Each structure stands twice: as C-alpha cells, then as structure tokens.
Amino acid sequence: MNLKEKFAVVTGGSRGIGKAIALAFSRSGASVALCGTNEATLKETAAEIEKAGVGCLALKVDVSKGGEVEAFSKAVLEKFGKIDILVNNAGITRDNLLLRMGEDEWDEVLATNLKSAFLMTKFFVKPMMRARQGRIINITSVSGVKGNAGQANYAASKAGMIGLTKTTAREFASRNITCNAVAPGFIQTDMTQSLGEKVQQEVAAQIPLGYLGETSDIAQVVLFLASDGARYITGQVICVDGGMVI
C-alpha cells in the first residue's frame, strides 16, 4: 500500500499500537506527525521514522486540551502544508469497579480517550474538507463493543468513539472524507505485559485463535483503511481480536 506524498497524524504515537501505526505509515512512504506526553519516547520514535526517509514532527501535547490540540494542528500544517490521514489512538486506563470509581478516574479517561478524538477531528478535518479528501481512523477497543467489568470509564470512552466514528462518517462523506474505527482485542503491549504470564494465558484461552495479537496486526488494518483500497469503506468498526467478540 503506497502512501507516498501523504501526510499522517498519529496521537499517542510514541509507543505501543500508536508507534506501530506510525512506523507502518513511514515505511509506506507517508510523512508522520506524532504527539504524546513522553518527550523521550517521542524522540526515539521520531528517529526511527526519519530512517525511512520521510518527514516527521513529534511534539508533546495534552490531547485533552483544546488549546494544545489547536496549536499542534497549526504546527503540523505549517510543516506539512496539508493532512491526509488522522489516527486517534491516544488512550489511558484507570480501571476500577464502578462503585469504587472516583470522579477523577472517570473524567481523566473520558478526556484523554474520547474528548481528544473530538478535538483532533475538529481541528484536522478542516484542511481535509478544503482538499475534499481524507481518512480518519479511530482506535477504539473490544471493551467498547462488549463492555468489561472494572472498566466502566474505559468502555464508555471507547463506545463513545464508535458513536463519534459513525457520526463523523455521516457528516463528512460528501467531502470524500471517510471515518472508520478499529477495535483491538488483547494485543501484546507494555500494558498487557504488566498483567503477568498466568493472566495472559487465561486471557489467551478465551480467544478463539488462542493467542494475543501483535501491534503489527492493528497497524496493517489501519494502513489499509488509510489507503486508496479502502475508499468505499466508511462508518465501520473492524474488530481485530482473534475472534473475541464473534
């Protein structure tokens, strides 16, 4: 899938799934703008992207703050001149049972996971509208599809992203802008590694394919949705979960 002369933005792009997506874009020829909260990992990922011979911009951004997102969008457009692809990947967890969950745990997760997708879409869809083309891909979760005990905040934020995806797809289809969501299942990241081997084995036993996915499994689907091959797909949620939500 050739993305030469394309310009992409990936939030939460310095590690895990976001990093895999950013690197997949760069290897396909796209220049990439990253944002995250850890300056050290942003620099490391940016260096890897530049090895592919494409442009890169990596900035520390609080994606839940409208002012910072607007400033980031201006910096991206100043460097690249346009934006073709937006991937809303930034996300956090603050797991707790609903009765024990504090307002701060709820608010922080909804702001980082869902509000950020709204803000990023709001600012980056404008240049897409002027160009009359664009791809928006939201990284949701199977937790947003089926729910998950102990994750009321996370599941609500990810289910909200699905609603945002479908509405965005409807509002901007006339401008040739597509919007789709990818719902990962259990993927091997720093987050899942912290669960421990025993828990990972228990999780794998619940997956029809019998094993946890890799970040590249998500990146390849995102790469397809960002390509011309997916020009007639919009408003869809694609579960990449080894069959968890069959």
* Active site amino acids: 154
For residues 4 and 30, the answer to whether their CB atoms sit within 8 Å is yes
Q: Residue 58's beta-bridge partner residues?
A: 34
For residues 68 and 75, the answer to whether their CB atoms sit within 8 Å is no
Alpha helices in 132-207 (DSSP H): 142-146, 152-172, 190-193, 197-205
For residues 50 and 25, the answer to whether their CB atoms sit within 8 Å is no
Q: Residue 139's beta-bridge partner residues?
A: 182
Residue 228 has what DSSP assignment? G
Q: Apex CA 52: angle with CA 112 and CA 71, to 5°?
A: 35
Cα gap 172→162, rounded to integer Å? 16
Instruction: Compute φ and ψ for 127, nearest 5 degrees.
Output: -65, -30
Cα gap 117→150, rounded to integer Å? 23
- CA–CA distance from 171 to each of 113, 150, 159 (Å)? 21, 34, 19
